[in-house]
Amino acid sequence: MKMSASTLVIAGRIINQLVRDRRTIILIAVVPLVIASLVGVSVPDKSILDYTAPAILAVMILFFGFLLTGISFLRERSQGTLERLMASPVSRLDIVGGYLLGFLLFAVVQTMVLFFYLIYVIKVNYYGDLWQILVFQVLIGIGAVCMGTFFSVLAKNEFQMVQFIPMIIIPQMFLCGLLWPVSQMPEYLQWLANVLPMTYGVSGIRALMLQGQDLLDIGKEIGVLAAYAVGLLILSAITLRRGKG
Partner 1 sequence: MPEKNFSGPAVAVDKLSFNYGRQKVLDELSLGVPGGISFGLLGPNGAGKTTLIRLLVGLLRARAGTILTLGRKPSPRIAHLIGYMPQLPSLYNELSVIQNVEFFARIYRLRDRKQRTQRVEEVIKLVDLWQHRNKSVTNLSGGMRQRASLACAIVHNPPLIFLDEPTVGLDPELRVHFWEYFQGLTASGSTLIISSHTMDDAAHCDRLAFMRDGNIIALGTPDELRQATGQAKATLEDAFLYFIKHGGVNENVG
Q: Does 86 bind partner 1 (CB under 8 A)?
A: yes
- Which C-beta is closer to partner 1: that of 24 or that of 213? 24
Cα 85 to chain centroid distance, Å, stands at 25
Q: Which of residues 165-194 bind partner 1 (CB under 8 A)?
A: none
H-state helical runs in 43-184: 46-78, 81-86, 92-120, 130-154, 158-164, 170-175
Question: Which of 39-47, 79-87, 106-114, 214-222 is the region at the interface with partner 1 (rule: CB under 8 A)?
Answer: 79-87
User: Residues 59, 85, 93, 224: which binds partner 1 (CB under 8 A)?
Assistant: 85
Integer angstrom CA distances of residue 123 from 41, 120, 148, 200: 11, 5, 31, 25
User: Residues 1, 3, 9, 130: which binds partner 1 (CB under 8 A)?
Assistant: 9
User: Residues 37, 52, 91, 160: which binds partner 1 (CB under 8 A)?
Assistant: 91
Integer angstrom CA distances of residue 60 from 3, 28, 63, 112, 185: 29, 12, 5, 12, 22
User: Considering the complex, what minimum distance in angstroms separates the CB of residue 240 from partner 1?
Assistant: 12
Pattern 10-49, partner 1, x by CB under 8 A: x--x--xxx-xx----------------------------
Question: Which of 87-95, 167-175, 212-220, 222-230 is the region at the interface with partner 1 (rule: CB under 8 A)?
Answer: 87-95
Q: Does 2 bind partner 1 (CB under 8 A)?
A: no
Q: Is the dihedral of CA 104, 203, 29, 130 positive or negative?
A: negative
Q: How far apart are CA 169 and CA 2, in angstroms?
A: 30
User: Considering the complex, what minimum distance in angstroms separates the CB of residue 59 from partner 1?
Assistant: 29
User: Considering the complex, what minimum distance in angstroms separates the CB of residue 17 from partner 1?
Assistant: 5
Q: Does 242 bind partner 1 (CB under 8 A)?
A: yes
Radius of gyration of the chain, Cα coordinates, nearest whole angstrom: 18
Q: How far apart are CA 213 and CA 127, in angstroms?
A: 8
User: Considering the complex, what minimum distance in angstroms separates the CB of residue 95 from partner 1?
Assistant: 10
Under rule CB under 8 A, how many of the chain's residues touch partner 1? Answer: 26
Report the 10 Å Cβ neighbour count for 62: 27
User: 107 with 144: CB under 8 angstroms?
Assistant: yes
Residues in contact with partner 1 by the rule CB under 8 A:
5-6, 9-10, 13, 16-18, 20-21, 79-81, 83-91, 242-245
